[in-house]
């Protein structure tokens, strides 16, 4: 049979990689296609709702529904040739206990689309690769989180980090584990809301103590104002880390503030507030 796969994912789609491996093992011809391409069966996995306009026999993805693949496909090791990745890709822990209103993960959890179960990297890691990408929603909420790091260290892998680690759960052991791990780029941490400040500050202190090379995502345009955004960026800068604005709403003012942060305009000023005032006056 001829199997067509479609997605709007920019880099990779784990579900379709598993579907591809499943069908190739059965001798089927599998390809990433476009809506006009013909096939016997078409699978589609969409991140955004726009994908609904394209017909497919089997449809899923967070833009459409919160279900899971059939068990016989969900357990298959991904087909890494589908997207020509140079890293392994998968979950050791899908679950996240947080109920963040800006995130799709709580909806997945409530719909039964997330397993509260620890997995070995052996379920998806391909020994050809020296890099691994964890898609975990919240690694540190896994009671067996250290097992994941031990496996990565034992295999001498570099972490291709597309997610992040929960600063609110940081302690000495976790900070030390991050420090011992080789990351392809910076460790990703986040400060999403003002209500988390005490836990975030504690986590930032630990990140500084263990000299983590970290970038701190700062959610903006969700439930904070610009004054609070400036405050959080200042705190992050004071701890020696780089703030990285993530805009929930793309307002003109927030886009301008994001450019201001990206340009690192504030680094030659005593405070971000002074730098921001000067930056605005020159626009």
Q: What is the pLDDT of residue 114?
A: 76
Tell how many helices (H) and how many strands (E) occur in the chain. Answer: 9, 11
Q: What is the pLDDT of residue 251?
A: 94
Show me where the domains of the chain are located.
Answer: 1-70
Q: What is the pLDDT of residue 210?
A: 98
Length of the chain in terms of residues written: 283
d(CA 246, CA 255): 10
- Which residues of the chain are modeled with pLDDT < 70? 50-51, 65-66, 111-113
Q: What is the pLDDT of residue 234?
A: 97
Q: What is the pLDDT of residue 66?
A: 66
DSSP secondary structure of 80-114: TTTTT-SSEEE-S--------TT-SHHHHHHTT-S
Tokens describing residue 201: 């500050």
pTM: 0.90
- What sections of the chain are H helices per DSSP? 14-24, 71-74, 105-110, 145-154, 172-180, 197-209, 226-238, 252-262, 272-281
Q: How far is CA 57 from CA 17, 26, 60, 129, in A?
A: 17, 19, 10, 33
Q: What is the pLDDT of residue 111?
A: 67
> Residue for token digits 């030659």?
268
Q: What is the pLDDT of residue 110?
A: 72
d(CA 208, CA 230): 20
pLDDT tens sequence across 139-168? 999 999 999 999 999 999 999 988 889 999
d(CA 218, CA 244): 6
């Amino acid at each position: 049979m001829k199997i067509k796969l479609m997605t709007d994912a920019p880099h990779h789609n784990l579900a379709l990689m598993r579907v591809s491996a499943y069908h190739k093992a059965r001798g089927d011809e599998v390809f990433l296609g476009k809506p006009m391409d013909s096939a016997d069966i078409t699978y589609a996995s969409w991140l955004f709702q726009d994908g609904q306009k394209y017909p497919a026999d089997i449809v899923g993805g967070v833009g459409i529904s919160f279900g899971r693949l059939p068990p016989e496909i969900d357990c298959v090791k991904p087909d890494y040739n589908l997207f020509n990745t140079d890293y392994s890709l998968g979950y050791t822990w899908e679950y996240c206990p947080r109920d963040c209103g800006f995130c799709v993960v709580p909806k997945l959890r409530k719909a039964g689309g997330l397993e509260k179960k620890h997995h070995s990297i052996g379920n998806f890691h391909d020994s050809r690769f020296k890099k691994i990408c964890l898609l975990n929603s919240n690694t540190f909420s896994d009671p067996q989180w250290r097992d994941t790091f031990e496996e990565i260290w034992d295999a001498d892998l570099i972490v291709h980090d597309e997610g992040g680690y929960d600063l609110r759960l940081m302690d000495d052991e976790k900070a030390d584990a991050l420090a011992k791990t080789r990351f392809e780029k910076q460790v990703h941490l986040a400060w999403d809301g003002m209500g988390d400040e005490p836990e975030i500050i504690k986590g930032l202190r630990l990140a500084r103590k263990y000299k983590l090379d970290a970038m701190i995502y700062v959610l903006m345009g969700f439930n904070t104002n610009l004054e609070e955004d400036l405050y959080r960026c200042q705190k992050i800068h004071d701890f020696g880390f780089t703030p990285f604005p993530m805009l929930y709403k793309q307002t003109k003012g927030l886009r301008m503030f994001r450019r201001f942060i990206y340009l690192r305009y504030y680094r030659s000023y005593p405070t971000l507030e002074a730098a921001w005032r000067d930056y605005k006056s020159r626009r």
